[in-house]
Amino acid sequence: MKGFRVRETLEILKRKNKKAFIPYIMAGDPNLEETEKRLKLLEEEKADLVELGVPFTDPLADGPTIQAAAYRALKSGTTLKKILDFLKALNISVPIVLMTYLNPVFCYGIERFFKDAKNASVSGVIFPDLTVEESEQYVKYAKKYEIDTIFLVAPTSTPKRVSKIVKASTGFVYYVSITGITGAALRLDKDFKKHIGYVRSFGKPVCIGFGVSTPEEARYVAQFADGVIVGSAIVKKFYENFSDGRDFIKSLREAI
């Protein structure tokens, strides 16, 4: 479904009564050649979207596993420009969502980034450190170059804030299932279910991430969302053993 925007992909899945499996990997970990192998594997194992991290020196929202992946990627010389050039040349059908902090994009040039991302067939962008209140310029260029914007909602977000975030999100709403960093233990309680139900009541796709690390957890949270995002657990598996990574991806896909 290359060329499809994020929202289109999720709508197609919804019509088929399916939930999206969205794995996360870090671009350039340990190099872009290996990243290509991992993306091909994710495509083969029927990932619906892939969240591709852009390495940054100060990843505030990331836990130790993804921080280590970012360090390995930076050490190999991976940059935002190299990632976009890599994606432009990549022959892959699964839509790509870039997850990047603001600093690399600001240094690259905001409009230039969105223009080059469009040319690289990027379907959506997540900025974990971008607030809705400061997003006007980014949203404007995302719309101009037909790239979906995805904002994060925390379990502590107030109804007023949820409304703002949902309105600004054109791809899906990224529901942070924990109040902490990626890779932390997942907690699912009555308040979680009630709050995510409220977020979904606005009618836009909602995908759950942060803390989902096992097939059992993925299967469970898929009941409450349009898609499930798994990051740290996949990064860890790929780093330890590529073959184990494939088996783990299979188990997540089947569970979701």
pLDDT in tens, 231-254: 999 999 999 988 889 999 999 999
**pLDDT value at residue 181:** 38
Cβ contacts of 47 within 8 Å, gap of 6 or more:
21, 22, 23, 94, 249, 253
Among 43-47, 59-63, 212-216, the minimum mean pLDDT is found in: 59-63
What's phi and psi for 26, nearest 5 deg?
-95, 125
> Directed axis angle between helix 80-89 and helix 32-44, to 10°?
50
pLDDT band at 179 (very low <50, low <70, confident <90, very high): very low
Q: How confident is the model at residue 63 (pLDDT cuts 50, 70, 90)?
A: confident
95: left (phi over 0), alpha (psi -120 to 50) or beta: beta
Q: Does the N-terminal peptide bond of residue 30 adopt cis geometry, omega within 30 degrees of 0?
A: yes
What pLDDT, on a 0 to 100 scale, did the predictor assign at position 47? Answer: 97
- What's residue 188's pLDDT? 59
Residue 1 lies in a domain: no
Cβ neighbours around 168 below 10 Å, total:
20
Q: Is residue 220 part of a domain?
A: yes
State the average pLDDT over residues 222-231: 94
Catalytic choice (29, 45, 48, 62): 62
For the question of residue 244 being annotated catalytic, the response is: no
Of 51, 148, 217, 226, catalytic: 51
What pLDDT does 4 receive?
Answer: 66
- pLDDT > 80? residue 197: yes
**Is 246 contained in some domain?**
yes
CATH of the domain at 155: 3.20.20.70
**What is the pLDDT of the chain when averaged over all its residues?**
92
Structural domain harbouring 204:
6-255
Residue of higher predicted confidence among 180 and 30 = 30
Number of domains in the chain: 1
Residue of higher predicted confidence among 195 and 61: 195
**pLDDT given at position 182:** 46
Q: What percent of the chain has pLDDT over 70?
A: 94
Q: What integer pLDDT is reported at residue 191 of this predicted model?
A: 80
Note the pLDDT tens digit of each residue in 119-159.
999 999 999 999 999 999 999 999 999 999 999 999 889 99
pLDDT computed for residue 1 by the predictor: 47
Examine residue 101 and state whether it is found in any structural domain, yes or no.
yes
Q: Is 191 a catalytic residue?
A: no
Q: Once rounded to an integer, what is the mean pLDDT over residues 14-24?
A: 96
Query: Could you give the percent of the chain with pLDDT greater than 90?
Result: 82
